[in-house]
Amino acid sequence: MTANPPPTAAPEISEVAPAQEAPKPLEEAPAEVKLTVEEEPQNDLTRKFTEAEWAKVKELRTTLPLIFEEAFKGKENPQAPVDLWGVNVDPARVDDARVSVILVKFLRARNLNVEEAGKMLTSTLKWREEYKAAETADEEFPQDVFGGIGFVAGRDKEGRPITYNVYGGNKDLKAVFGDFDRFMRWRVGLMEKGLKLIDFETVDSMVQVHDYEGVGMGSRDANSKRAASEATKIFGDYYPELLHKKFFVNVPIFMTWIFWLFKAIVPAATFGKLQVVGTGPSTIGKEMLKIVDKDQLPKKYGGEAEALQ
């Protein structure tokens, strides 16, 4: 209850003052109005953000309208929501925690520099629009050419999808790489298929296995080298921070030294995700079974699952 005001001094009078009416009771102050502030949408992944990451995510999010304006310049409605890795990104809304998970990937790839992360996101949106990247996951490619060289199969113990690139799966290099543009769309499609299995709520990355069984000195030609270079650029520029772990298995001795060159040219955090494993199910399984259950890993790699197909 509100306290009565302190008494004031009696007025000076030269004669008896007339009687005054009793003071009216004071009305109680209105109850304090509590403003409802909408909490930041959260999921298992956003709860792991650092304070610095949250601050940068919020800052980057305020620039989304400008990013969309630049990425979709010339479109009738450049502010329309778009699909990015299976998540609907609307520059006018902030109520989806999955969007924050995606934004922080661009920030981490650029050391939390908002301006640079914004440029990377702009380029990604522009490229995806022009390349029709999302459509590659549903495109059909000849099975006799690509049926044995790439798969998405199983998950690791945390639920991350596992993709396999089998470089010796088709030794007809002309068939695989002869149509360069077709190969690149197939390769991007394999990545997009893996992304479809990521929910960005509990899982935000994937495991990759690169199998070099059967690869020899003559297993690379000009087109295959060009394809490897282009794939590295595409995934580095437009798919940041989506790799949890990459295993290089059945690697010929003459190729192992190449991977140590990566140490000098890739960030330490990225290099730490790469692991060269020996040959054979027992050796490969010894390493991969640390993060993948037996029933999710093909027998060829030391697990109990059937063939990848």
Q: What is the CATH number of the domain that holds 89?
A: 1.10.8
- DSSP structure class, residue 205: -
Q: 43 with 201: CB under 8 angstroms?
A: yes
**For position 220, which CATH number holds?**
3.40.525.10
Q: Note whether 63 and 162 are same-domain residues.
A: no
Give residue 248's pLDDT: 93
Q: Note whether 111 and 161 are same-domain residues.
A: no
- Tens digit of pLDDT at every position of the chain (309 positions): 444 444 433 333 333 334 445 445 544 444 443 433 347 899 999 999 999 999 999 999 999 999 999 999 999 999 999 999 999 999 999 899 999 999 999 999 999 999 999 999 999 999 999 999 999 999 999 999 999 999 999 999 999 999 999 988 888 889 999 999 999 999 999 999 999 999 999 999 999 999 999 887 666 788 888 998 999 999 999 999 999 999 999 988 877 776 777 777 677 778 889 999 989 999 999 999 999 999 999 999 999 998 765
Please state the φ and ψ torsions of residue 107, each to the nearest 5 degrees: -70, -45
Q: 4 with 26: CB under 8 angstroms?
A: yes
Q: How many CB atoms lie within 10 A of CB 258?
A: 11
Q: Note whether 94 and 156 are same-domain residues.
A: no
Q: Note whether 81 and 170 are same-domain residues.
A: no
Spatial CB neighbours of 167, under 8 Å, sequence gap ≥ 6: 149, 210, 211, 212, 214, 215, 219
How far is the C-alpha of 106 from the C-alpha of 101, rounded, in Å? 9
Q: How many residues does the structure list for the chain?
A: 309
How many domains is the chain partitioned into structurally? 2
Give residue 4's pLDDT: 46
Q: Note whether 74 and 167 are same-domain residues.
A: no
Q: 204 with 101: CB under 8 angstroms?
A: yes
- Answer whether residue 11 is part of any domain: no
Give residue 187's pLDDT: 97
Task: Name the 3-class secondary structure at 164.
Answer: strand
Q: Note whether 145 and 290 are same-domain residues.
A: yes
- Answer whether residue 156 is part of any domain: yes
Q: Note whether 198 and 275 are same-domain residues.
A: yes
H helices within 50-96, ranges in order?
51-62, 64-71
Give residue 31's pLDDT: 45
Give residue 97's pLDDT: 97
Q: Note whether 258 and 186 are same-domain residues.
A: yes
- DSSP structure class, residue 33: P
Give residue 170's pLDDT: 85
Q: Note whether 238 and 269 are same-domain residues.
A: yes
Q: Tell me whether strands 206-211 and 161-166 are parallel, antiparallel or unpaired.
A: parallel
How far is the C-alpha of 138 from the C-alpha of 11, rounded, in Å? 92
How far is the C-alpha of 249 from the C-alpha of 306, rounded, in Å? 18
Last residue of a domain, one of 85, 107, 131: 131
How far is the C-alpha of 160 from the C-alpha of 230, rounded, in Å? 25
Q: Tell me whether strands 87-89 and 206-211 are parallel, antiparallel or unpaired.
A: unpaired
Element (H, E) at 102: helix 97-109
Q: How big is the chain by its Cα radius of gyration, in Å?
A: 30
- Answer whether residue 261 is part of any domain: yes
Residue found under tokens 């330490």: 268
Task: Name the 3-class secondary structure at 64.
Answer: helix
Q: 139 with 182: CB under 8 angstroms?
A: no
Greatest pairwise CA separation for the chain in angstroms? 122
Q: Note whether 290 and 151 are same-domain residues.
A: yes
Domain that holds residue 215: 139-301
Residue found under tokens 């609907």: 88
- Answer whether residue 271 is part of any domain: yes
Q: Note whether 242 and 268 are same-domain residues.
A: yes
Last residue of a domain, one of 114, 131, 148: 131
Residue found under tokens 């520059």: 91
Last residue of a domain, one of 76, 97, 131: 131
Give residue 6's pLDDT: 43
- Answer whether residue 236 is part of any domain: yes
Q: Note whether 54 and 172 are same-domain residues.
A: no
Give residue 272's pLDDT: 87
Spatial CB neighbours of 45, under 8 Å, sequence gap ≥ 6: 97, 101, 200, 201, 202, 204
